[in-house]
Structure 1
């Protein structure tokens, strides 16, 4: 009888966390634990009560030590985090949860992905990238075709993104140093795509599944479909190889004024619309488990054209089962962005 691998999935309150938990529970060789900082997180209640856990906020100093204790107590073999803030905290401290393995890209890959200026500079020679410079003197030194976009250098989702209609508005942009600063980019007016990418231990891409968001409600994709498009797949593959991706990432592309696929950003985590990619034939969570357990992956995985619509599904539990958490209602703070991809 094969040994059972004990897997902890964090961020159980977001669509990505729920999708990962549902996928991994289909495997008989895995024992899935679910964790979140909010006791009302729906994904917690997809696993038996004895495998539900509360964690500290991923951006806080208590997160890693508390998680390390939890991992040791539960004899966890593999940790899968679906939250940007947690990944940032854990990336450089993997030894803290050893011998458990963190199923996430390297610290250097995460740092590039989470810095939009660094990402643009890294990928500029590999794929089409919109002109990207810091707000302030760097931006004012260029002649732009207005409107252009300004957005935070770091951060997830559409928070802080603004349209800059003319040069006066460009001159009025606040100038800040470091990761809180704004970047200015050429407007990409074409259709937007999300490409779910999986790369093996050598950063070779084994799957690249483009999706379009057909319907969006409050920033959340509620309908979409996979598309077969060689340019999108090749562009996302080139981005993943350039940043040295190992594991999963969501590469966001948009067509420029010439109709070419151009890089918007990379989310180095499981996307919120993951169920569509899984149903299309690429079970990314299961493949990520195999990858980080040292098992070989296929050389390339095909996918089928498929459309999806989302609906609200309730999980009913006894009120006494709800975990008492000091961090209820955190989704807007730490999970923002995961719903949008």
Structure 2
């Protein structure tokens, strides 16, 4: 059910502070959360379905668990928590949230606290057609969207066609001819078509309290992306963006961490394209700008009745992402990085 990937010398649970389980340790968001928690001195158990997940090598302990659609996914997490002395779980994969919500009582019985968004809110965010209807009903600016050819007349081109349930840039197509859009929708009923927005693309990292209070909105320009992940960006302050982001979050009723993506048109108007009910891949920039949403979220998990403080950030902080490597031997033990000073490994 679970297998050990890596273990550091300080990983033994006996007498140590309770650990934090971080799921999705192979993704950018999971890696960012693991790195932040380790930097703060937490004992971190990183889990992923991929036995070579990078975040597992960065954590105190790395373990392999089944995918969220496996019937023993929650069983594996309970086993991990029991073996490693974990008292809190931070998910970083949206597709895991339904299974975690269904298994929250079992996790709680094992001593693992969670803070999970309302499953109905998560379902709306993960369904682009339902999300469009929800924002339209709430009057939140959003590109015209349809999943039927009959309503395509209400969705002006040019178009972006994408999976109704998907993430990143997977399966996204930019189309300029209505006939191509009709063919795509007829061929694959799981697709939606949207009017393609123009302007500057942004992501806003957010945290909403359990009672619905907006604790922070940190907008950043997506200056360059690769495979849907921001690799260059800069934080900025905008009342128009903050207002539309808050409106979208309130419309879907989401709590906890989320990242909201959208565009600012040349005339300054902002519109929301989607909400991902999880930490973002560009999370390190928000952390560098001063909004420690990871620590605040962990506090909210462990102390559900505590009133969390508002988080402020510094506009104008830029990020330029580059490749970095983590090396391990056959046993999973760290191998020295040749690009780091030998003194670090002494």
The TM-score normalised by the length of structure 2 is 0.83
Is the 1:248–1:268 Cα contact (8 Å) retained in structure 2?
yes
Q: Is the 8 A contact 2:35 2:59 kept in 1?
A: no
Say how many residue pairs are matched: 314
Counterpart CA distance in 1 for 2:87 and 2:25 is 18
Residue number in structure 2 paired with 1:75: 85
- Per the alignment, residue 157 of structure 1 pairs with 168
Partner of 1:207, secondary structure, is strand
Distance 1:244 1:219 in 2: 25
Distance 1:204 1:226, change over 3 A: same
Give the equivalent residue in structure 1 for 2:52: 40
Matches within 5 A, 1:154-233: 154-175=165-186, 181-233=190-242
1:331 alignment counterpart: none
Partner of 2:32: 19
* Relative contact order higher in (CA < 8 Å, ≥ 6 apart): 1
Give yes or no for contact 2:147–2:185 (8 Å, CA) kept in 1.
no
| Aligned 8 A contact 2:168 2:229 in 1 | no
For 1:296, which of 291, 302, 307 is the aligned residue?
Answer: 307
Runs of 4+ in 1 over 3 A off after TM superposition: 174-177, 217-220, 255-259
Which residue number corresponds to residue 274 of structure 1?
Answer: 283
1:176, distance to aligned residue in structure 2 (A): 7.3
CA distance in structure 1 between the aligned counterparts of 2:116 and 2:49, rounded to whole angstroms = 20
Q: Deviations over 1:12-71 (max 9, x none)?
A: 11221111112112334x4221112222212112233xx221111223223222222222
Match of 1:306 among 317, 336, 341: 317
Specify the alignment match of 1:319 in structure 2: 330
Report deviation, 1:87.
2.1
- Which residue matches 2:146? 133
Name which of 95, 105, 112 aligns with 1:85.
95
Residue 66 of structure 1 corresponds to 76
Q: Is the 8 A contact 1:281 1:304 kept in 2?
A: no
Q: Which residue of 2 aligns with 1:264?
A: 273
| Structure 1 contact 231–261 (Cα < 8 Å) conserved | yes
Q: Comparing 303-312 with 283-292, which one deviates more in the overlay?
A: 303-312
Give deviations 1:274-312, integer Å, cap 9, x for gaps.
110001010111110011222321145343320011122
SS state at 2:130 partner: helix
Distance, in Å, in 2 between the alignment partners of 1:132 and 1:64 is 35
Change (3 A) 1:319 1:211: same
CA distance in 1, matches of 2:17, 2:333: 27
CA-atom RMSD in angstroms: 2.3
Q: Which runs of 5+ in 2 are unaligned?
A: 1-15, 335-346
Q: Contact 1:80–1:104 at 8 Å: present in 2 too? A: no
Q: d(CA) in 2 for partners of 1:134 and 1:126?
A: 20
Instruction: Give the gaps of 5 or more residues in structure 1.
Output: 324-341
